[in-house]
Structure 1
Amino acid sequence: MAVAVPTDLPITDLPITERLAALASQWAQSQYELVMLGVQLAESAEWIVAGSATPAQHLAAIADVEACTAREWLRAGRRVRSLPVIADAFADGTLSYSKVRALICVATPDNEAELAALALDVPASALRAALAAWMNTTMTPADLDAYHHERRSVAWRTDPDGTVIFTLRLPPALAAVLISVLTTLVMRTRARPDASGGWPTLAQQHADAFAEVLTSGSGDIRTEVIFHVRADGCSADDGTPITETAIARLLPDASIRALIHDAEGRPINASGRHRHPSARQKRVVKERDRACVDCGRTTLLQYDHQPPFEQTGHTVVDELDLRCAPCHHERHRR
C-alpha cells in the first residue's frame, strides 16, 4: 500500500516511513530518467566514438554496473517509450521500476491503461502473479500456451565467488512437475549436517535434489503434481495459473485423482482408524490449509493431530492441521 507523503515539509523533517516513501518516489523518477537517457545514448553515436562494442557496454561503463544490468535498462526504456500511460506513471513516481519491469512483459498500447490501474492496487511482490492471472482470463488457452512456449529460456552467469547462477524459465505445467520432483527428493532424503556442523538450508537441499536429478535421472521418482480445475480457471497447487490444454497434455501419462468440494467450495471430509492420514486426507487438508497454520510457511509441511491421536484413536480431516516441521516440533515440545 502506498504511503501518502506530506508535500509541505522537507524530506529530512518527515517521519522515517514518509521519508522512505518520498525517497522511493524520487528514486523511481530518477530511474525513469536513467533508462530513457540510456535509450538516447544507444541511439546516438557516442558509444561508437567511445570505442565500445555495444551501447550496453558503454552504459555499463558510465554507470559502473554489469552489462546485463545495462541491457535490462535499455530493454525497459525501449518498451516504456511505446507505452505512454505506463511511461507517465513511471516518470512521476507513481509506478516503481519493479512494477514497470513486470508490466512491460505483457503490456501493449491497447491494454496498458488497464494493467497500469491493476498495478496501482497490487503490491509489487504480488504483481507478477496478478498479471499471470489476468493473462489466463484474457487469452485463449492455445494463445497462452504458445506464448509460454515462446518465452522458454535457460541462462547462466558466473558469480564473483565462482558459483554459477542459472535462470530457468519454463511453462507453468512443466515447472510444476519439476518443483514436485525436487520437493519429493527433499522430503524423502534425510538431511545431514555438513563438515562445519551446520544443517543445510532448504535452498541447499533443493540444490542437492536438482544435482541428483541431473546425475541420477528421475525415472524412478514417482511424485504427485496437484492441479486445481475450477470454473474460474485452472492453477498449480501454488496458485500459478495454467491452461486446461496444458493440463490435458499431461493426462495420458498420469494417474488421476479427483478432490471433490462441496457447494461452498470446502473440501469433503474423509476419516479412518489409522494414525497416519491417507493420501486422500492429505489432499483435503492441503487444499484447506494451504500453508503452516502457525507461521504461514509453505515448505516442509506435516500433518498434525489436534487433539492428539493418543486421545482420540482416529484420524479425521477436521482434527488435522497443516504445520511445517519446525512448528510441529515446537508444538509437541511445549
Structure 2
Amino acid sequence: MFDGADPSSLPDGVLEVRVLGYAAQITALTAEFLDLVAELDERESWRGPGIHSLAHWLSWKAGISQRTAHEQVRVAKSLRELPVVRQAFGEGRLTYSKVRALTRVATPMREQELVNLALSCTASQVEKAVRAMRQIDRGHGEDGELVAPTESWGRWKWNLDGSLSVSMTLSPLDGARFLAGAVRAEYERTRTAEDSDLPSVPRNTSGELETESGERDSEGKPTNRRDLWRQVPSNLAPAVVAMADMVHEGIAMPDLAPGAEILIHAGDGVEHAHLDDGPAVSEAELEEARCGAVTREALSARVPGGPGKLALLGLGRKRRTPNKALIRALFLRDRCCQTPGCERTRHLHAHHVVFWSAGGETELDNLILLCGSCHRALHRGEFSITGHGSQRFSFHGPGGSVIEVSPPTRALGEWLPDGRIAADATVPVGGGKLDLGYATEVIYAVWEWKERNASQVSAAA
C-alpha cells in the first residue's frame, strides 16, 4: 500500500483507498503527538529563556502557528481525562477535528455516548451537535432547573507584598461581555505578523456565527478567519492588563498605521520601487502616488547584511527615546517581536541592544523590537542579544549558546505506517447520515439515567 508509487499512475479505486489510509495514519499519529504534548506540558521541560508557554515552544521548535499550538495543547490536556475518546483517537477512528469538538463538552461520564455519536457523524455534524449541547447545558443546575442569574459585583484590595487582588462575580451577560473583551484583548496582545487587522467573522443564513472549521489552505493558514480568534485564555491577567492599556491609550490614530496609508519603498538601495509587502510599481504609478496625500515613501540605502535594511536614521547619544521617524523605520524593518518564535505585533518596545546606560546609541544598529514579555525576560537575564553591525543581531541563552531563529523540523528516519490502523478508520459509520436532533435526545436520556443510578447508589451507600 505504501510503496511510493506515483499518484498519477494509480487507478481511481486505489487512489481513494490510499487517501483514506493516509488520513487514518495521520489521525493516529496526531493522537500520539498530542499524548506526547500532554506529557511535555506536565513535565514543563519546555521552559527556557524567553519561552512564554508550551504553545510558544511548539511554534518555535515545531513550526506550528501559536494559535494552532494553543488549541493543540488544550485538546492534549483534555484527553488525559477522557480515556475512551483517547483510545478511539489513537485507533484512527476519530479525527482531530472531531476530537477537538468533543473535548469542549465531554466528561468521563459522557464520553462513551459522545464517541458513539461522533463515529456516525461527519466532523461538521459533530460541531453542530456540540454547539447544541453547550446551549442545553448552559444555565442548568444539578437538578435540571434553570439557575437564576446573579447580580454582578466586584472588590479589590492591595496586598502586603504590593500586589493587587481583584475578585468579581458577574451575571451571565456581563460575564460574556467581560470574556469577549478578554478574548479581543488577548488577540491584540499576542497578534503575530500572519494575523489580519480585521478578521472577518462569517455567519450562516440565520445570522448565527459559524463554528471553527479547522480547515486550512496549502500554506497551513486558516481558511475561516474566525480561527484567528483564540478561545478565552486560561490566565486572564495579561488580557485584563492589555484591556486596561487599551482604555488608557484610547482609539486615537497611531503614528504608524501602514494599513491606512500607501507606503512605497524607493531610493538608491531599491532596484524597483514597490509597495510595502507588495508588488513593484512603475515610474508612472510612482509619480501618480506622489500626488496623493496618503502616500508615504520609505527611502532605503544599501548596507551589508542583505536587502531591505534601513540605515538612514539615527539620533546617536543626543536622545534616548527614538523619535517618530526612527520608530517608523524600526517597525518597517522588524514588523514584530524579534525573539525567536514570538512574532507578536502589538505593545512592542524599542529596546537598546547595548543599554543606553552603558553608552548605547539610539540608532537602528542598536535598536530592536521586543514585546513586553520578552523585554522583561531579557532584563531578567533569561537570554541576551548581541549586535553585529549593519542591523544584524543574534540571540543567546544564559550560557552564551546561540538561539536558532527557526530550528529545522526533522522527520523520523525509520518511520513506517502503523499496520494496526485500518485504512477506512476515519470513514463515518453508515456514511455520516444521522438525525442529530434524535441522537441528542437519546444521549441526554442516557446521561440522565446514569445520573439517577449514580444518585441511588450514593444514597444506598
TM-score norm. by structure 1 comes to 0.42
Quick check: which one's helix share is greater?
A: 1
User: Which fold has the larger relative contact order, with Cα–Cα distance below 8 Å and residues 6 or more apart in sequence?
Assistant: 2
What is the TM-score normalised by the length of structure 2? 0.32
